[in-house]
Amino acid sequence: MTPPAPEAVPRCHLCGAVWQGAAAQPGFKETCAGCGAYVHCCLNCRFRNPSLHNQCAIPETDWVGDRKRLNFCEQFEFARRPEAGAAPGDGGAVRDRFDALFGGAAPGDPPGPKGFDDLFGGGG
């Protein structure tokens, strides 16, 4: 059985702390209680998309030079993210397949050579 997906809630882009503000959206100058990072910033916005012009899904938005600093965008909506590192599914199985493909030992593989002599036989 697959574990339930972690709850997606507004989280700080820097430390992952859950934002618990009084209003539905943070004020322009609010900061994270966990790390002090600005909360009303592009990196926390649900419209941020690095592959788009100006890295924003809202056309005609003003240019923001530093995406982790506060901005005054009125279209800001807090992105909802699951807990950091809590991706649904079995990440261990994915890692095992990755290691098997790129030189790591797959589960059940015999141990490989430990050094040059084991690999080419002999020495000395």
Q: Convert the pLDDT of each residue in 23-42 to its tens digit.
A: 888 999 999 999 999 999 99
C-alpha distances in Å from residue 84, one per residue of 30, 34, 87, 99, 113: 22, 14, 8, 23, 37
In angstroms, the CA 124 to CA 114 distance is 17
pTM of whole model > 0.85? no
pLDDT band at 116 (very low <50, low <70, confident <90, very high): low
Q: Convert the pLDDT of each residue in 83-102 to its tens digit.
A: 755 445 555 677 777 777 88
* Contacts with 78 (C-beta within 8 Å, 6 or more apart), sequence order: 10, 19, 25, 26, 39, 44, 45, 46
pLDDT given for residue 67 in this prediction = 92
CA 102, 86, 41, 55 dihedral sign is positive
pLDDT band at 119 (very low <50, low <70, confident <90, very high): low
* Spans of all domains in the chain: 8-84
Region 56-78: what's the mean pLDDT? 91
In angstroms, the CA 43 to CA 34 distance is 16
Q: How many CB atoms lie within 10 A of CB 71?
A: 19
